[in-house]
Structure 1
């Protein structure tokens, strides 16, 4: 006599919230006598999503109509890489903090390790069907926040509506010398030389793209200035070229006029990225710390 195959547990459990309650209390009441430690393990292994966002926060305040999803498989696998850290992930997007020295995407060598290749391999560990799509880029030597899409439709929405969807992009730059103006707006036209691949700036229209950069000085001494920079446009090498334009190149940026490299890296960091979520339309904002060596220069 053949044994009946055992019914498999569903891959995901969907739970609807009906009243204001903390996530831990909610899960304890809904998960069939599960212990607090078991619930904490689910959270630690990134197996809990609230409204399509992975959460590890046991005391998260839930509201009526929130949707809690428990992944009953092996969970959302943690990414452990010295050059890349996941800040946010849902079924549509991954937002990461990239360290300096890592390309966003390959420039020709398919074997080169990039942010894209690291994430592509990471999402495939959960399912071989998972994909990653490039939305925008940071230079190899620029650190900070960068976003990737998890399907082609989201990538298209973001790229075709970039200037409408992005609400704020803030960088910090450590530049040579003490800036004369505490804050200013730089406007020029940028054109790339096809042979040298260097961007040239002109105060008048040179056939290139108009670029607008706003800055304010956060800290300075006789030798350096730390600037907070907000982009109105997002042209290639825009900040680096505009800092050269005002006579204060970014430290470590020999390509655009720097003479010194006191922190042994390019002094540019993408600190904040805020945007309308392409699916939920809510405004989300992701912020990272100013690199410590940017600040230590003033001590």
Structure 2
């Protein structure tokens, strides 16, 4: 028996709140009409079926507080609502908050938890956090971390904070420092890797990033913290923030990340697994930024115990 049902269709009038204001009408509708193809959303905007304060608008129109948005009848096929996060996961996330004020919070993301649902993951960190805080009207990711990466993750509690922090990131004013264990001996003097990265999607839907002259400019700064016989502990500071940037730049240098099953070394990963490494050795240890209030903040997360134990085995 199919678990697909159809939402009843009817015209909806939505009044835009302060937290919803500032975003483009197309992005608002993509979120509001989950399950509707983007092509359909752009079509109803173009045809004038979507109205703001009784007037036609273009897709780039930015919503204002108090705007009355007419959403036309659109049939949405939806699946059964997945089960929510367990109380234990909600408690774990609350305990992982390392900094919070009125406009943002920094959470020490555990490894193995996706930052958002999708791609076979029904429930991610942001959905779980929203479930844990039902009275918080706005919670949005400022940036992302790979599922197997642990450490500092920024979440905005206001749309104005989201815009400010994302603009700071685009301008390169956010300090993002990671700790990583790489296979092999990191080349002496290799402190800056500048190699353009291009993102490709395989037929399976899997994303793969490669160094490509036609890719986007990408720069990572590396410094050696400790050398072992066949491994090196490094600190990586992002100058740009491309998908899988540290992982691909490390592979490009010839020292792939330990435990990386996409860009790593199979034999090296097997040896490290025997020493207790159960995931990719990459940790977002430090975030530095200017908050919307103008306050300069620097938040740190210590290396997780399971990664520290691996270093102890190597040392």
Fold shared per TM-score above 0.5:
yes
Matched, 1:213 2:227: no
Decide whether the 8 Å contact of 2:114 with 2:121 is kept in 1.
no
Q: Residues 173, 270 of structure 1: CA spacing in aligned structure 2 closer, same or farther, 3 A cutoff? A: same
2:180 aligned with 1:173: yes
8 A contact 1:250–1:266 mirrored in 2? yes
Which structure has the highest strand share of the two? 1
CA distance in 1, matches of 2:239, 2:172: 13
Aligned to 2:311: 295
Give distance in 2, aligned partners of 1:188 and 1:180. 16
Cα 1:84–1:186 change in 2 (3 A) is: farther
What does 1:200-239 align with in structure 2 at a 5 Å threshold? 200-202=210-212, 205-206=213-214, 208-239=215-246
Per-residue Cα deviation, 1:111-139 (whole angstroms, up to 9, x for no partner): 32x21022112222xx2x53211110000
Please, what is the CA RMSD of the aligned residues? 2.2
Asked if the contact 2:93/2:129 (under 8 Å) is kept, the reply is no
What 5-or-longer segments of structure 2 have no aligned partner?
1-89
Q: Deviations 1:172-214 (Å, cap 9, x if unpaired)?
A: 0011112121541001110011225200103xx31x2110011
- 1:28 counterpart residue number: none
- Write out the 4+ residue segments of structure 1 that deviate beyond 4 Å after TM superposition: none
Compute the TM-score of the two structures, normalised by the length of structure 1. 0.67
Q: Secondary structure at the match of 2:254?
A: coil
The structure that has the greater radius of gyration is 1
Partner of 1:199: 209
What SS is found at the alignment partner of 1:275? strand
Alignment partners' CA distance in 2, 1:152 and 1:233:
23
Confirm whether residue 116 of structure 1 aligns to residue 126 of structure 2: yes
What CA distance in whole angstroms lies between the structure 2 residues aligned with 1:231 and 1:271?
12
CA distance in 1, matches of 2:121, 2:280: 25
Report the equivalent of 1:102: 113
| Structure 1 or 2: more helix by fraction | 2
SS at match of 2:132: helix
SS at match of 1:255: coil
Give the total of aligned pairs.
214
Contact kept, 8 Å, 2:175 with 2:289, in 1: the verdict is yes
Q: Is the 8 A contact 1:104 1:115 kept in 2?
A: yes
Residue equivalent to 2:257: 250
Residue 187 (structure 1) aligned with residue 198 (structure 2): no
> What whole-Å deviation, never above 9, does each CA across 1:50-91 have from its counterpart, x for those lacking one?
xxxxxxxxxxxxxxxxxxxxxxxxxxxxx6217960001111
Deviations 1:208-255 (A, max 9, x none): 211001101101111111001111111000000001001110011121
1:57 corresponds in structure 2 to: none
SS in 2 for 1:271: strand
TM-score (norm 2): 0.63
